[in-house]
Amino acid sequence: MNYNHPLRSGSTVTIRVMCATVFVLFCFCWLYFFQADQLAMTQHVLSHGLTRYSPLAGALIITTVLLLLQLAVSALVKLTKRSHALTYVPSMMLLALVTEISQQIESGEGVSLWGWVLPLLVLLAWGAAVVVARFLQEAETDRNFSLVSRPMWINALLMALQIICVAWIGNTNAVYHYRMQTETLLASGKYEKALDVGRESLESDANLLMLRMYALARMNALGERLFEYPITADVDQILPTNHRTQMYYCPEDSLYRFLGGRPAEPMAPLHFLELLERRDSVVAPQVADYKLCALLIDRQIDRFASEIGRYYDLSDRLPKHYREALVLYRHLRSNPVVVYHHAVTDEDWRNLQELESQYADPTERKGRVEDQYGNTYWYYYEYL
């Protein structure tokens, strides 16, 4: 009597179940955990803001559609043994293109020529591989398709290679994903969570800094925490007023309502802030903070010192970076227009000077200062 179980000997069901399980798990996780914010951005742009993407529903629907495509391809090409995993290539290619093309749609560039040529080349190579695999399948003598069989491991390797290709073709840029996630949280009013995105990373860009400044302003923390983040933009990129930076998912109208007005035409952010200041008899605190932080980013420390008194009582406790800037200004100028003292900040400044004096090598000195003072305006002003 033969007691061999069909799934361990003559049946290829084990191979099909393994490939399907790997595909479904990878596809769902890729869409739900890593690409959800980017797909939300794509749907927002394509629908002109009329519909909203659901990460769970979107991941389930796309995974199901791609699995149905694989079943159709499998029924067409009839690869069942060592090369069954090749039936997942069209689905994997579409999965990669969904995220790659979405970035180009969001940026308004359209799909590049390479975005069309690469998939065509892959499909041509896949078609040739299918023809060869069909020919070789007739000559295969394998009868064992268990979990430890050679055909099983060949299919597992083919699935792994396809997963690597999806990660290579799809958008895995960390800063881009930080920006998508930050915009999604800002649109929901979750400002503190938006500031936690990419918090431990030194990677950033002008758009991400602009979004973080908006979140900080919403929390009345621009002067307190701005230089704790990488400053990767100049003063002309801190607002989307001249289209050098942009907001896609989080509406720009929310930012302009918060500031109290919007520009009638493209203009430099600092000029826009000055126009808002001239218009109102009482300057809004958020406008004042944006202007003061713009001066600090631009290292206009003299102008900062001369204007901060218009918005803040210097006898009260100032935000951290404003205190640092005024102490720095006092030590840089022999005849300062403002002489500001703050016991704790003055002590921190003396400690910084002592630390710098211990290292003659500029590179080593910069590294040591960054370790202890990398989140201060002093480090930004002197070293970046």
pTM attached to this predicted model: 0.83
Q: Decide: 182 and 208 in contact? Cβ < 8 Å.
A: yes
- How confident is the model at residue 128, as a pLDDT? 86
Burial of 86 (0-12, 13-18, 19+ CB in 10 A): buried
Please write the tens of the pLDDT for every residue from 237-274: 999 999 999 888 888 999 999 999 999 999 999 999 99
- How confident is the model at residue 10, as a pLDDT? 45
Measure the CA–CA gap between 368 and 356, rounded to whole angstroms: 8
- How confident is the model at residue 7, as a pLDDT? 41
Q: What is the pLDDT along the chain (384 residues), one digit of tens a residue?
A: 444 444 444 467 888 889 999 999 999 999 999 888 888 888 877 777 788 888 999 999 999 999 999 999 999 988 877 788 899 999 998 898 887 765 555 555 545 545 567 777 878 888 888 888 777 776 666 665 556 677 788 889 999 999 998 888 877 888 988 998 999 999 999 999 999 999 989 899 999 999 999 999 999 999 999 999 999 989 999 999 999 998 888 889 999 999 999 999 999 999 999 999 998 878 899 999 999 999 999 999 999 999 999 999 998 889 999 999 999 999 999 999 999 999 999 999 999 999 999 999 999 999 999 999 999 999 999 998
Of the candidates 331, 326, 330, which has an alpha carbon nearest to the alpha carbon of residue 307? 326
From residue 264, give the alpha-carbon distance in Å to each of 10, 86, 242, 284, 383: 74, 56, 11, 19, 37
- How confident is the model at residue 106, as a pLDDT? 53
